[in-house]
Amino acid sequence: MPNKPGPIDPPGSPKWALAGRIVTMDPKSTVIIDGAIWIADAAIAAITKHGDPVPDGFAGVIPLQTGGTVLPGLIELHNHLAYNVLPLWNVPQTYTNRDKWGNTPIYHQLVTAPMKTIGEATELLPALVRYVECKALVGGVTSSQGIALFSAPGVRRYYRGIVRNVEETGDKLLPEAGSRIADVDARDPQAFLAEIEKKTCFLLHLSEGTDDAAHKHFEALALPGNEWAIAPSLAGIHCVALTPGDFRVMAAQGASMVWSPFSNLLLYGQTANVAAAAAAGSPGHPFRIGLGSDWSPSGSKSLFGELKVAHVYSQNNANVFSDEQLVRLATTSGAEILGWDKTVGALEVGKRADLIVVAGQNDAAPLTPLFEGDERTVQLVAINGTRRYGTTALMTADGPGLEKLAVGGEQRVLYLTQATEDPDVAAVSYAEARAKLADALQNVKAMALEQEHQHGPEALAAAPVVRADHPRLALDEFEHTDFTQRPHLTFNGAVTGPVDRPQAAAPPISSLLSPIQLDPLTVADDTDWLDAVGHEMNLPGYMAPGLRALYQA
């Protein structure tokens, strides 16, 4: 289905208002103890204190009493959303770079094989989009990376759903980020630099691992004459292997990074040196750091959970970030990295009404309610001034386009209607999506057998089946789609990746598969998740008990 022109989130919403504790995350860190935020036409029209007059144009509008804390919506700068149907992987060893775990038989069995099978099933893709965007939404995420399809080598598009996609907005006030670069440009220093300079932001994996091979991905960015193939637009994802000196180079070039601590710790036993990264900037020009949960197989279920991981990590590593700094990673800093800071990222008059409400208020520490409790803490999520998810008290409980669901046994309401979303996604409710995916994953072996019967097991094992009338997920992690998510420049005469996989010798995908449980939407609905985290061998000893304490607070 071709994309429609114009903004995906058109600026239109009714007039309404919220009352509660307003944590603006503005440059002055303004907190209004008892205030109201007034919304019209997708934007914040006014923010008032208790006792202030009703703003002009809002006569008769009665603010919804939240009893909680109102914050900017969370901006996720890294997530392989399509994979968020899969459960947490019990990582069997410590790896030193992404090619090590990406090439293992167990990873191929648990991740590659099921995702290739799901990705081949075109009829399942709308359900997948609906489910994983709801997973983000119930975690307070208002913007994230998108889900790409491709129908021919080099030809791709993004699904349009409810959660804002940073790669495709159709909105000049929200410049579109790049996240995949043509293979040929990823190998040529000048072409690479020219390509990333075309965007305000280019989100690319960088130095994913702890060994020398991972570090060479960064070293290869060095150009003759003390120049670098680094532009202010470059946002390096992971950056685990970078040294303090490397971060100073990144900062000097105006670049930034995206931190995914949980996935790094699960796979490598360590994460990026964020203390060095934070110190790499200069007065008035801080080194910008964003946050991303990566994906559910080795990460958090959503950015709501990744904030908890970052909090526990910080507390146990000399308090490298305050709670306010952590929240800024997922709000104002994320907006700055994207070049969206004039439009979103903070609750300020004139900015888009992307916001969340979390239960509870804390006089001494206003941000504490965001870190304590499971996803039932999230009471409301609004994107572009439209209430998309929340409690029955803060959402209309019944009406066209509304859908009820339970989160941790508590009733919530979804509003998933939007004129600009893909019609095939619009036709699928959350409940339908969940049922279809749960059934597909339980029967994934039979699905793969049928696909192999149609196309041949060798074809599916070696390469995706691509036709204009048969769009597939663009699974760049392990399929050649003529695009990559990471630079592969030459270092000392050798290309720094990717590692070629002997696909032709791979066994039929169906032989690797067995029934898989659809990953639950939330930790509140996943009775095994905290125990599974406790069994992860690479996590530092403080992480599992620290997360349990926060989720059960």
Going by pLDDT thresholds of 50, 70 and 90, the confidence category of residue 255 is very high
Which pLDDT value is given to residue 2?
40
Which pLDDT value is given to residue 479?
63
Q: Model-level pTM? A: 0.95
At 95, which helix (H) or strand (E)? Answer: none
pLDDT, tens digit (0-9, with 9 covering 90-100), for 300-310: 999 999 999 99
For the cut 50, the answer to whether the pLDDT of residue 408 exceeds it is yes
Range among 184-193, 222-231, 261-270, 477-486 with highest mean pLDDT value: 261-270
pLDDT, tens digit (0-9, with 9 covering 90-100), for 330-353: 999 999 999 999 999 999 999 999
Average pLDDT, the chain: 92
Angle between helices 430-442 and 444-455 (to 10 degrees): 80
Q: How many beta carbons lie within 10 A of that of residue 423, not counting itself?
A: 10
Which pLDDT value is given to residue 478?
61
**CA dihedral sign of residues 297, 303, 304, 305:** positive
pLDDT, tens digit (0-9, with 9 covering 90-100), for 132-188: 999 999 999 999 999 887 666 556 788 888 999 999 999 999 999 999 888 888 899
Which pLDDT value is given to residue 396?
79
At 256, which helix (H) or strand (E)? Answer: strand 256-259
Which pLDDT value is given to residue 284?
82
Torsion of CA 475, 481, 486, 492, to 10 degrees: 140
148-152/472-473 β-pairing: antiparallel
**CA dihedral sign of residues 526, 527, 533, 537:** negative
pLDDT, tens digit (0-9, with 9 covering 90-100), for 51-88: 999 999 999 999 999 999 999 999 999 999 999 999 99
Q: DSSP string of 199-237?
A: SS-EEEEE--BSSHHHHHHHHTTEETTTEES--TTEEEE
What residues have CB less than 8 Å from 103, skipping those under 6 apart?
499, 501
Report residue 140 as tokens: 């307070």
Give the whole-angstrom CA distance, residue 492 versus residue 508: 38
3-state secondary structure (DSSP) of residue 125: helix
Burial of 26 (0-12, 13-18, 19+ CB in 10 A): middle
HSE at residue 435, side-chain half, CA atoms within 13 A, is 6
Going by pLDDT thresholds of 50, 70 and 90, the confidence category of residue 488 is confident
Which pLDDT value is given to residue 495?
81
Going by pLDDT thresholds of 50, 70 and 90, the confidence category of residue 283 is confident
The residue type found at 455 is H
pLDDT, tens digit (0-9, with 9 covering 90-100), for 426-475: 999 999 999 999 999 999 999 999 998 887 766 566 555 566 667 778 77
Going by pLDDT thresholds of 50, 70 and 90, the confidence category of residue 499 is low
Give the whole-angstrom CA distance, residue 385 versus residue 12: 8
